[in-house]
Amino acid sequence: MSESAIRASIFPLLILLLVTGMYVGHLLTPSPQVSINETAMVQRIGALESQVSALQSQLNEFQTRNMSVQSLNEIYEAVKGSIVTVSGLLPSTDIFGRVSYTSVLGSGFVVNLTGEPLVVTNYHVVDGIVNGSVTFIDGDAYPFQVVGLDKYSDLAVLRVALAPAERLVPLTIASSSGLRVGDLVIAVGNPYGLESTMTSGIVSQLNRAIQTETAGNFNIAGVIQITAPINPGNSGGPLLDAYGMVVGITTAIITGSQNVGFAISSDTILREFATLVETGTYVHPYLGITGYPLNFATSSALGINQTWGVLIQTVVDDGPAARAGLMGGEQSVTVGGVQILGGGDVILYIDGVKIKSMDDLSSYLETRSPGQTINVTILRGASEKVIPVTLGVRP
C-alpha cells in the first residue's frame, strides 16, 4: 500500500475512534436532570456496538479498495506486455485497375474468455487489410488470422497462432456496469505509431450511442464517453480502470473536440466474445424505426406537452415495429433548421426503463436478443399505450 493510501485508511479509523469515545463518554456521564436507567443503558450500548461494527465493516472495505488501487506506473508495467500494435496494408484499385496499398495501424490486447488467448481490436482497424500482423512491445511480430468480426459494435477477434504461449498474457476484463461518471480511466495504445503510450482521464458519460462509417445507418450503443486523450492508432487499445482491469476498448473521437473520446464497453465484449469466436459474427436485435429525440423546442413546435422520449419518424415496412402496430410521423415540421415528422408515436419506456433519447433506446435494445418480446410504452395523441414488440434480426 502506498503512503497516501495508508494515510487515507488511518484517517477514517481515527474518526471512528473519536466518535466511539465521545459516544461512550456521553453514555457514562449522567445528566443532572435525568437518572440513568440500567436497561436503557444496555440497549444504548448495544446500539452503539452495532454502529461501531457497521463503521468497522465500511473501514475494512475502504482499506481493501485502497490496497487494490495501483499507481499509473504500476498499471502500465503490469499491462504493457499484453498490448500489441496491429498493422497491415489496405489495398485499393483505381479506375485503370491499378492496385495501391495504404498502411493501417491500430492497437489491440490479449484476452482469454474462451480458454484460448486471443487478441481483441476494432473492426475498422482490420477491415479489408492484407499482410496483417501484431507486434509486441519488444518488437517481435507475428501474423494473425481473423476469428470474428462485428461492424455494428466495431469489434474484431484475432488469433495469433505462431506467437509463443508465454507471449500471450491476457488482461483481466471487468464488467463496465460498475463504472460511474467521474471514475478514473486509463488508455494504453499506439497513437500515430508511438508505441505503448499511456493517457488518463475520467468517464465523462455512459451509454452513449455513436455512428461510424463501418456501422452505416445504425448506432454503436452502450458506448463510454471519456476525457482520456486518444488519437489515430489508439483504436483497439484497452481502456482500463483504477485497478488495471479492462472496462472498454477505445474506438473513436470527435474531430476537432477537446478530449471527447469514446470506448466500446467491456460488457459488449463480454456479451459478444464467445459468439464471435464460435460463429465468426454476431446478430443484433432490430426494432425497425427511425426516431428523433424530443426536447422543449420540438415539443412546442409540435404542440405537445411531452418534452422527452423518442418521436418515431418512420416505421420500416413489415419490420418488427410495423407488425406490432407502432406508427411513424406524417406532418413535416422544421425546428431549428431541422425538418422532422410529427404526429407519430412517442416511445416513453421499454420494459419499464425510461427512454429519454436515441442513446437510451439504442443502448437498451443492445441488451436484448432477436426473438425476444419487449413492452414498449408509447404516447399516441393524449393517451399512453403499452405495445408488445417481438424484436427481429438487424438486416
Q: Which of 107, 124, 345, 363 is catalytic?
A: 124
Q: Is the dihedral of CA 356, 361, 366, 371 positive or negative?
A: positive
DSSP state of 356: -
d(CA 392, CA 316): 12
Residue 154 designated active-site = yes
The phi, psi pair for 85, rounded to 5°, reads -95, 130
**Residue type at position 394:** R
The phi, psi pair for 90, rounded to 5°, reads -105, 110
Buried b (16+ CB within 10 A) or exposed e, 281-305: ebebbbbbbbbbbbeeebbeebebe
Q: Which of 87, 107, 154, 267 is catalytic?
A: 154
Residues 6+ apart with CB under 8 A from 189: 83, 106, 107, 197, 230, 233, 234, 235, 236, 237, 238, 250
Residue 124 designated active-site = yes
Q: Is the dihedral of CA 11, 59, 244, 367 positive or negative?
A: negative
Cβ-contact 310, 291 below 8 angstroms: yes
Q: Is the dihedral of CA 156, 126, 393, 313 positive or negative?
A: positive
Residues 6+ apart with CB under 8 A from 236: 86, 106, 107, 108, 109, 120, 121, 122, 125, 156, 189, 249, 250, 251
Cβ-contact 200, 241 below 8 angstroms: no
Q: Which of 9, 82, 87, 235 is catalytic?
A: 235
Residues marked active site are found at: 124, 154, 235
